[in-house]
Amino acid sequence: MLDDVATDLDEPGTDEVGTDEVGTDEPTGPTFADLGLRAEVLRALDGLGYEAPTPIQAESIRPLLAGADLLGQAATGTGKTAAFALPLLEHVPAGGGRTPVALVVVPTRELALQVARAVTRYGQHVGAKVLAVYGGTPIGRQLRDLERGVDVVVATPGRALDLIGRGALRLDDVRTVVLDEADEMLDMGFTEDIEEILSAAPAERQTVLFSATMPSRIERIARQHQREPVRIRIAKEATPEGEAPRVRQTAYLVGRPHKVAALGRVLDLEQPTAAIVFCRTREDVDTITERLGARGYRAEALHGGISQEQRDKVVSRLRAGAAQLIVATDVAARGLDIDQLSHVVNFDVPAAAESYVHRIGRVGRAGREGVALTLAEPRERRQLSNVERLTGVPITVAPLPSVADLRAHRLSVTQTAVAGALADGREDLERVRGALDALLSEHSAEDVALAALALAHAAQGAVDDQEIPAPELRPQRSRTDGPRGRDGERPGRGPAVRGGRPVSKATAPGNTRLFVGVGRAAGVRPGDLVGAIANESSVRGKDIGAIEITERFSLVEVPAGAADDVVSALRGSTIKGRRAQVRLDRDVAAR
């Protein structure tokens, strides 16, 4: 999905997003060889099984080989590391040299290690010597390694400056400086360090800047330190038409008091192999880690109060499968990049939409499937819409799984496990043959199978049977709105239906009522209507009045002056995936 996605950003929920650049089976893009990379690098790519360049590689490599500066907006998972790493290997003399030809600056130690590993792999047949240098570890070894001669240095900003200051990291021969995840570095307060590093590098160098988001701070650095950079923008997902997006994004609306229970429920249903649960505060991290531990999850906490050593252990436990969940703050999780990650769970909607993008950038990598789940309080719906606007990808708002959902899911897991055991062959099963024969002498085969299935199912553990209440999604009303409905009835809460048609109540002063031709049968909840109206029209959520939902249709009160706007906006959009008839309610229209 390329540049023109920008034009779709204002329309979350539309079908067109991401379908314009893909969807043909014809391999149309260039091959790695077409891009002009050296033979040793092509051989390494072949060995790694990379068949074709990803879109960002196809666009970046040629201009980079030609020596151009580049300003790239791309998230992790797009293949951006190879996009900048492959061209810089062109400058490494065969067999490796002595002084660095490239400096890659990254925000965190994890990313430094990861990028260095990638460059080493890509440069294995060139003989490139690649070194990661980062803070938080003794500098002596890094000094010695630099002394021995290195071709590519991957560094965190502070340590890079330290080493430059000591004369150990010499930039005289550096042809390319790469700033990777530049927005993260600026967020972490490295602006001055970056400026200093760039000033210390030769003026004739090539400057490559990658950032997941492109705030004005990045543009400013680009203006000051780059020369007519080639601009490339790649959205993370390229979802061919008719295919589900690789990152399934779902938000569950849940009231604050029920959030921890909701998290447990969602995890029980999803059973992630490896997940990060993001929380806002250190206290949340500790509480949630403890509660998930009590629920039987192998959960590890990661926050600012945790030592680097402990952090490394936590990450390797997740990588090795010894831990299942990392519960982390954004800051602590910076630079964490774990290939096995199946799920990212947002315990809260992050305040900045960019943080959401960073968080979910950790799943759905390189064509794998990923899941991003968000627990949103009703008041956080606006933030969800902001995220949708930024990414251009709709987030499905779903009801929390019920106890019945969970039970049904567990049963299907048992069923799949039994079917799997049968498919795997008889060897293991034969070990219990003696017991089966004994049972069959007294019971029918069907009864025995039933009992065995029930036991296998029970062995999965108990399902928590506490229903979690759906939050009240009544929009707030202004003080002038008067009482909520008649007789103290709360219209937003549910249908007040008599004879198949809601009782026609007077609307609040200044409001009018709209008829929307979808209702409970289509799974519509008040939040869907509020979301659709607030997202699509000029009316804000808090200005929406009473909502009634019946089986087949819904009635929504909106400010009279904005009714036309809402009607035309909703006609052009979908609610719960359906295009609905929307008009002024007849009862009101007749008045």
For residues 290 and 339, which CB has a smaller minimum distance to ligand AMP in the complex?
A: 339
Closer residue to ligand AMP (CB): 212 or 375: 212
Mask 217-236, x = binds ligand AMP (CB under 6 A)? --------------------
Task: Name the H helices within 431-471.
Answer: 433-440, 445-458
Cα–Cα–Cα angle for 371, 384, 264, nearest 5°? 50
Q: Distance from CA of residue 276 to its chain's centroid?
A: 11
Q: CA 412, 413, 415: angle at the middle one, nearest 5?
A: 60
Q: What residues form DSSP beta bridges with 206?
A: 176
**Quick check: 211 binds ligand AMP (CB under 6 A)?**
no
Least separation in angstroms between residue 447's CB and ligand AMP is: 50
Q: Which is nearer to ligand AMP, 27 or 138 (CB)?
A: 27
- For the stretch 75-105, what's the b/e string if a residue is b when 16 or more beta carbons lie within 10 angstroms of its beta carbon? bbbbbbbbbbbbbbbbbbeeebbeebbbbbb
67 SS3 class: coil
In the list 77, 245, 364, 378, the residue contacting ligand AMP (rule: CB under 6 A) is 77
Coil/strand/helix, residue 511: strand
Closest distance to ligand AMP from the beta carbon of 45 (Å): 7
Is residue 225 classed as helix, strand or coil in its secondary structure?
Answer: helix
Main-chain phi, psi angles of 249, to 5 degrees:
-110, 120
The footprint of ligand AMP on residues 437-476 (CB under 6 A) is: none
DSSP structure class, residue 449: H
Contact assessment for residue 202 and residue 177, using Cβ atoms and an 8 Å cutoff: no
- The residue among 75 and 169 lying less far from ligand AMP, judged by its C-beta, is 75
Interface with ligand AMP, residue 33, by CB under 6 A: no
Q: How far is the CB of 82 from ligand AMP (least distance, A)?
A: 5
Check the CA dihedral 453-454-459-464 and report its sign. positive
Q: Does 408 bind ligand AMP (CB under 6 A)?
A: no
| Interface with ligand AMP, residue 365, by CB under 6 A | yes
Q: Of 372 and 588, which has the nearer Cβ to ligand AMP?
A: 372
Name the residue nearer to ligand AMP (CB basis): 322 or 366: 366
Residue type, 117: R
Closest separation between CB of residue 271 and ligand AMP, Å?
Answer: 24
Q: Quick one: 365 or 477, whose CB is closer to ligand AMP? A: 365
79 forms part of the interface with ligand AMP (CB under 6 A)? yes
CB of 443 to ligand AMP, least distance (A): 53
Residues 49-68 interacting with ligand AMP (rule: CB under 6 A): 50, 53-54, 57
> CB of residue 2 vs ligand AMP: minimum separation in angstroms?
16
Whether residue 152 contacts residue 208, with contact meaning beta carbons closer than 8 Å, is answered with: no
For ligand AMP, the closer CB: 56 or 103: 56
Task: Please identify, using beta-carbon distances, which residue of 121 and 170 lies nearer to ligand AMP.
Answer: 121
> Which of 60, 73, 76, 342 is close enough to bind ligand AMP by CB under 6 A?
76
Q: Residue 108: which of 85, 75, 136 has the closest Cα?
A: 136
User: With binding defined as CB under 6 A, does residue 366 bind ligand AMP?
Assistant: yes
Strands of the 582-584 sheet, one edge to the other: 547-549, 554-559, 511-516, 582-584
Inter-residue contact 230 to 66 (CB < 8 Å): no
Amino acid at the residue 468: I
Nearest distance in Å: CB 325, ligand AMP: 22
Binding residue (CB under 6 A) for ligand AMP from 41, 80, 260, 328: 80
Site for ligand AMP, residues 168 to 207, rule: CB under 6 A: none
Q: Which amino acid is at 234?
A: I
| Beta-strand pair 206-211/275-279 | unpaired
Q: Given the complex with ligand AMP, which of 212 and 221 has the nearer CB atom?
A: 212
Q: Are strands 554-559 and 511-516 parallel, antiparallel or unpaired?
A: antiparallel
Pairing of strands 102-105, 152-155: parallel
Binding residue for ligand AMP, selected from 1, 44, 71, 81, defined by CB under 6 A? 81
Of 60 and 511, nearer to ligand AMP (C-beta) is 60
Q: Is 335 in the site for ligand AMP (CB under 6 A)?
A: no
Would you say 139 and 163 are in contact if contact means Cβ atoms under 8 Å apart? yes
Q: Does 359 bind ligand AMP (CB under 6 A)?
A: no
Q: 454: which residues sit within 8 A by CB, 6+ positions away?
A: none
**Least Cβ distance, residue 118 to ligand AMP (angstroms):** 7
Rule CB under 6 A: say whether 78 interacts with ligand AMP: yes
Site stretch for ligand AMP (CB under 6 A), options 1-9, 46-54, 225-233, 545-553: 46-54
Residue 72 one-letter amino acid = G
Residues interacting with ligand AMP, by CB under 6 A? 50, 53-54, 57, 76-82, 365-366
